[in-house]
Amino acid sequence: MAAAAGQNIAVVVHRAGDLRLEARPVPEPGPNEVLLRMHSVGICGSDVHYWQHGRIGDFVVKDPMVLGHEAAGTVVKVGSGVTHLKPGDRVAIEPGVPREMDEFCKTGRYNLSPTIFFCATPPDDGNLCRYYKHSASYCYKLPDNVTFEEGALIEPLSVGIHACKRAGVTLGSKVFVSGSGPIGLVNVIVAKMMGAAAVVVTDLSASRLQKAKEVGADFTIQVKNETPQEVASKVEGVLGCMPDITVECTGVQACIQAGIYATRSGGTLVLVGLGPEMVTVPIVNAAVREVDIRGIFRYCNTWPVAIALLASKRINIKPLVTHRFPLEKALEAFETTKRGEGVKVMLKCDPTDQSP
């Protein structure tokens, strides 16, 4: 049944395997918040993981939680202290909002603040709903030539921007991206944008590698049952040299191993994908070759950069969206994502406007 425009419905995970579409009150924005009518919300692998397993590492779903954190919408109401936004403004939402001005915030690395609020990370509710309130400072006005879907895609794009910055991608870099899901793909796009001369991508899926080619990968390698060393040598073979930078987007042990073996001495391996807490890796190989291993946790200070890139048409992320569902069909959309179909599944939350 379709809810009336004034009603708020949300996609809520109650526990592992229990996902529901349910009515929620329309929230009232605080002094420094805005109320948004949500338009487009992407489904992330983490949303699916919370639904399937009820937890990610130490983040456990104890109470019902609204999913969704890749989102854009329209301001419908502003708090008394908000000056930079007004009703009718189209905005992209940065889902991580620091709760206190701690040392991490003071140095500009607010993503590392241990008390940060983050959409759809227990116990914080996400924004896969009709109406959602958010800190106004973390809502960024979208230019007219950037669509709501592009606004929602800034979240995964930000992971690529943060990873490539931490990796030190620069003019002429040779880059190996391991994994060709949405996060692998945004890393391909950003690495090329930042001046990478050659990008090679590996994945098990031929269709995903085809998508990598579409967004600018120079080479693709379909992995079957090769050893990590064999994968590393294939990467070197297609590039004609070992990559300076490896961006590992799967979290799979064998892939992290391949990432170490593949990276040129003195190069950098950035770990983006998250798998089991403990993995066995050839750390001595990395150590004696001075391969720097860096982690990333989400992103910081990326929304203005991403909006500028999208507005200037320097990058195109529209091909990432392969499926669209109205909010009412959220369960079907989640099943589609779980089956690994397409690349990015987008939920359309505004019944009066289902455009991109």
Q: What is the radius of gyration, based on Cα positions, of the chain?
A: 20
Task: Read off the pLDDT of each residue in 123-136 and give the average, rounded to a whole number.
Answer: 98
pTM: 0.97
The tens digit of pLDDT for each residue in 153-183 reads 999 999 999 999 999 999 999 999 999 999 9
Write out the two tokens for 36: 């948004």
How far, CA to CA in Å, does 351 sit from each of 8, 148, 191? 12, 14, 37
pLDDT value of position 1: 38
Phi, psi (deg, nearest 5) at residue 103: -60, -35
Q: How confident is the model at residue 81 (pLDDT cuts 50, 70, 90)?
A: very high
Query: Do 230 and 262 touch, CB atoms closer than 8 A?
Result: no
Instruction: Report the distance separating Cα 328 and Cα 350, nearest Å.
Output: 10
Query: Do 351 and 40 touch, CB atoms closer than 8 A?
Result: no
- Give percent of the chain above pLDDT 90: 98
Q: Which helix (H) or strand (E) holds 67?
A: none
Query: Do 114 and 98 touch, CB atoms closer than 8 A?
Result: no
Task: List, edge to edge, every strand of the sheet that includes 174-178.
Answer: 219-222, 198-203, 174-178, 245-248, 268-271, 292-295
Per the prediction, the chain carries an average pLDDT of 97
The tens digit of pLDDT for each residue in 276-295 reads 999 999 999 999 999 999 99
The tens digit of pLDDT for each residue in 215-265 reads 999 999 999 999 999 999 999 999 999 999 999 999 999 999 999 999 999
User: Does 107 score more than 70 pLDDT?
Assistant: yes
pLDDT value of position 3: 41
Instruction: Report the distance separating Cα 234 and Cα 230, nearest Å.
Output: 6
User: Does 110 score more than 60 pLDDT?
Assistant: yes
Q: How confident is the model at residue 2 (pLDDT cuts 50, 70, 90)?
A: very low
Please report, as a single letter, which amino acid is at residue 176.
F
User: Does 61 score more than 50 pLDDT?
Assistant: yes
pLDDT value of position 166: 98
Instruction: Report the distance separating Cα 7 and Cα 224, nearest Å.
Output: 49
pLDDT value of position 46: 97
CB atoms within 10 A of CB 163: 27
Q: Three-state DSSP class for 266?
A: coil
Ordered by where they begin, the domains of the chain are 8-145+313-348 (3.90.180.10), 161-295 (3.40.50.720)
Beta strand segments in 16-145, E: 18-24, 33-42, 55-56, 59-60, 65-66, 70-78, 90-93, 96-97, 117-118, 131-135, 139-141
Instruction: Report the distance separating Cα 208 and Cα 343, nearest Å.
Output: 8
User: Does 328 score more than 80 pLDDT?
Assistant: yes
- Give percent of the chain above pLDDT 70: 98
